């Protein structure tokens, strides 16, 4: 039986039907042409400061295209999309996910005093479980099995606040590749190991397969009650119970929590076990503060809206195909995949709410790596490639270590890279540089061409005073709301993910054909290459040792 909608659950009322707004491509809205013209007239120069304080963070979009006139045009676009009503729908649990008739009420999960009794109950259950485990010094090892939104956020939080070592050892297993579960279990003492199965749907093949291997590992250890070592976090407790879980070991979330927005739910159990429940509470507080900012700040001072405007201009007007995320903090390594899923699984859509083609570039490819590693990996491309990409630089003003020189160098590199992307280096500057190095004139005139930087490459800078649960929570909520605003402007659904289903269905079919072995008739319904490899791989069907 699917989880019942909580009594005080999201409102079941459908959003005001904005089909007219939702079905008008953004580039057909009256204000669009002036918005485009204003954006194209500008070149970012970072001399006109545009710095916004929001929920303890500081957003500097001076190096993006911005102006009062752009904000006025943006306000007209937002009004044409009935943005205020849609934002209210989002924050009050309206059915903003139209193709699945669901709310996307992740903001309710972090409300300081949740009005929704089920949220309060599950939050208390998680805290009690962790408190008991801590009091008994139980579960030295946690094996967190989950993927996508049931994985990235937990990995991010555990590294961000556990990078100097944890009392509990946490292993993350997400991939169906058997090496992942093998590595996840290797060397652990089953007697002191807790397996956490995180799956909103409780149907994800990777998670269930890996979960089965983990349960078998517990059983093989001869434990008196292996199921005591397994908990699940899911919106389908019925399926988890059928699978073998004890009901008191099943923590609930609900179908109105999107997978990539589920960090704030009981999915955060592993974070609480690994670092502590105060970290989870602190992240909730920071995210709630950003929710309040997003709900109230006027357009020109609204950080998510301003980031969304930059994203729309860079993607749909300037035609940048991607967005680079550059966290200048190694503790935020997992921020990149977290934002990849948040942004690309939400905005990688090309039809409007009414099913018409969007006919304008929408969600960019999101990629990146922490700086300064990124400078030694792909910043050459960012500086001198034919296209380049806008960059979101993220940095903490204060470090949580004692090596002052390291942190000054980190800050300097972040600012320098941003400045180099924006200012570039002219041919004349490059030529003078070569001549000053004593390079002969003829060679210098040639080499200077190779040393020229086009510049004019936009970026945002997000400054956290320091990395705390509060500031990380605020940062993640900032991006969640940026994604929402862009989805409203583009007229697309940010909360479904039909694109991930097709490949899964094909994989189910090919898996069956692979298991049939080489004696089976040739697989049908595939292109020649896929058929060739199914036949080839069928020979791999040795039983696992
Ligand atoms: O990638 C598809 C997806 O459904 C994500 O949206 C989700 O976070 C992930 O798979 C895992 O889903 P579940 O939590 O249901 O196992």
Of 202, 210, 259, the one to substitute when testing ligand 1's pocket (max ligand atoms within 8 A of C-beta) is 259
Tell how far the Cα of 223 is from the centroid of ligand 1, in angstroms.
Answer: 31
Average pLDDT of span 461-483: 98
Evaluate: CB of 200 within 6 angstroms of ligand 1.
yes
Ligand 1 atom 2, closest CA: 500
139 has pLDDT over 90:
yes
Evaluate: CB of 147 within 6 angstroms of ligand 1.
yes
Cβ neighbours of 225 (radius 10 Å) = 8
- CATH number for the domain running over 111-275: 3.40.50.10490
pLDDT of residue 18: 46
* Nearest atom in ligand 1 to 259's CA: 8
Ligand 1 atom 13, closest CA: 199
Tell how far the Cα of 149 is from the centroid of ligand 1, in angstroms.
Answer: 6
Catalytically active residues are 345, 376, 504
Phi, psi of 386 (to 5 degrees): -65, -30
Tell how far the Cα of 171 is from the centroid of ligand 1, in angstroms.
Answer: 19
Tell how far the Cα of 148 is from the centroid of ligand 1, in angstroms.
Answer: 5
Give the CA-trace dihedral at 79, 81, 85, 89, to 10 degrees: -150
Tell how far the Cα of 538 is from the centroid of ligand 1, in angstroms.
Answer: 28
User: Residue 169's closest CA among 139, 197, 147?
Assistant: 139
Distance set, CA 245 to CA 22, 58, 436 (Å): 43, 45, 72
Give 47-66 pLDDT, tens digit per residue.
899 999 999 999 999 999 99
pLDDT of residue 540: 75
Tell how far the Cα of 204 is from the centroid of ligand 1, in angstroms.
Answer: 7
Burial label for 260, CB within 10 Å (0-12, 13-18, 19+), is buried
Element (H, E) at 271: helix 269-274
| The domain defined by 50-100+284-423+457-490 carries CATH number 3.40.50.10490 | yes
Domain residue limits, the chain: 50-100+284-423+457-490, 111-275, 425-456, 498-536
Ligand 1 atom 10, closest CA: 148
141-145 and 169-173 strand pairing: parallel
Distance set, CA 294 to CA 52, 235, 298, 353, 393 (Å): 12, 28, 9, 23, 21
249 has pLDDT over 90:
yes
* Nearest atom in ligand 1 to 235's CA: 15
Average pLDDT of span 154-175: 97
Same fold, 50-100+284-423+457-490 and 111-275: yes
Confidence of residue 530 (pLDDT cuts 50, 70, 90): very high
Q: What string of DSSP letters covers 169-232?
A: EEEEE--SSHHHHHHHHTT--GGGEEEEEE-SSS--HHHHHHHHHHHHHHHHTT-S-GGGGEEE
Helix/strand/coil for 141: strand
Evaluate: CB of 50 within 6 angstroms of ligand 1.
no
Evaluate: CB of 199 within 6 angstroms of ligand 1.
yes
Q: What string of DSSP letters covers 344-367?
A: HHHH---B-TTS-B--S--S-EEE
Evaluate: CB of 236 within 6 angstroms of ligand 1.
no
Q: Side-chain half-sphere of 208: how many Cα atoms within 13 Å?
A: 12
Give 264-319 pLDDT, tens digit per residue.
999 999 999 999 999 999 999 999 999 999 999 999 999 999 999 999 999 999 99
Give 143-153 pLDDT, tens digit per residue.
999 999 999 99
pLDDT of residue 422: 96
Evaluate: CB of 207 within 6 angstroms of ligand 1.
yes
Ligand 1 atom 6, closest CA: 259
Average pLDDT of span 126-139: 97
């Amino acid at each position: 039986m699917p989880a019942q909608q909580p009594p005080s659950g999201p409102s079941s009322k459908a959003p005001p039907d904005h089909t007219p707004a939702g079905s008008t491509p953004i580039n057909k809205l009256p204000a669009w042409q002036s918005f485009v013209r204003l954006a194209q007239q500008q070149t970012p120069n970072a001399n006109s400061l545009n710095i916004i304080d929001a929920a303890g963070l500081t957003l500097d979009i001076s190096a993006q295209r911005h102006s009062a006139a752009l904000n006025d045009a943006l306000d007209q676009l937002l009004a044409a999309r009935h943005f205020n009503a849609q934002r209210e729908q989002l924050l009050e649990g309206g059915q903003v996910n139209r193709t699945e008739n669901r709310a996307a009420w992740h903001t309710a999960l972090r409300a300081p005093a949740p009005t929704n009794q089920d949220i309060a109950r599950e939050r208390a259950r998680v805290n009690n479980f962790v408190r008991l485990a801590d009091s008994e010094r139980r579960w030295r090892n946690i094996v967190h099995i989950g993927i996508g939104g049931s994985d990235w956020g937990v990995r991010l939080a555990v590294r961000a606040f556990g990078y100097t070592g944890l009392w509990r050892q946490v292993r993350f297993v997400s991939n169906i590749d058997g090496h992942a579960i093998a590595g996840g279990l290797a060397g652990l003492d089953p007697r002191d190991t807790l397996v956490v199965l995180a799956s909103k749907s409780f149907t994800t093949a990777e998670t269930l397969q890996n979960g089965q291997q983990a349960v078998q590992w517990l059983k093989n250890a001869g434990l008196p009650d292996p199921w005591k070592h397994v908990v699940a976090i899911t919106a389908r407790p019925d399926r988890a119970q059928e699978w073998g879980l004890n009901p008191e070991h099943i923590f609930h979330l609900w179908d109105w929590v999107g997978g990539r927005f589920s960090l704030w739910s009981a999915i955060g159990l592993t974070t609480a076990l690994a670092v502590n429940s105060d970290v989870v509470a602190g992240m909730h507080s920071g995210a709630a503060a950003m929710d309040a900012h997003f709900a109230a700040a006027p357009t020109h001072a609204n950080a998510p809206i301003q980031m969304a405007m930059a994203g729309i201009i860079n993607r749909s007007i300037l035609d940048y195909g991607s967005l680079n995320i550059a966290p200048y903090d190694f503790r935020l390594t997992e921020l990149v995949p977290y934002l990849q899923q948040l942004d690309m699984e939400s905005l990688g859509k090309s039809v409007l709410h009414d099913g018409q083609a969007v006919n304008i570039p929408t969600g960019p490819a999101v990629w990146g790596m922490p700086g300064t590693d990124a400078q030694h990996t792909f910043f050459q491309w960012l500086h001198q490639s034919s296209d380049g990409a806008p960059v979101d630089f993220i940095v903490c003003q204060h470090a949580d270590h004692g090596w002052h020189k390291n942190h000054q160098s980190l800050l300097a590199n972040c600012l320098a890279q941003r400045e180099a992307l924006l200012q570039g280096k002219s041919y004349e500057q490059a030529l003078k540089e070569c001549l000053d190095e004593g390079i002969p004139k003829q060679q210098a005139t040639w080499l200077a061409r190779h040393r020229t930087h086009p510049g004019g490459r936009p970026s945002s800078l997000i400054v956290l005073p320091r990395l705390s649960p509060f500031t990380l929570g605020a940062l993640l909520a900032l991006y969640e709301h940026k994604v929402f605003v862009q989805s409203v402007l583009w007229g697309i659904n940010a909360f479904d993910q039909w694109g991930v289903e097709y490949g899964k269905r094909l994989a189910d079919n090919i898996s069956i054909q692979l298991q049939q072995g080489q004696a089976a008739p040739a697989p049908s319904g595939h292109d020649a290459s896929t058929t060739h490899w199914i036949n080839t791989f069928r020979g791999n069907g040795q039983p696992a040792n």
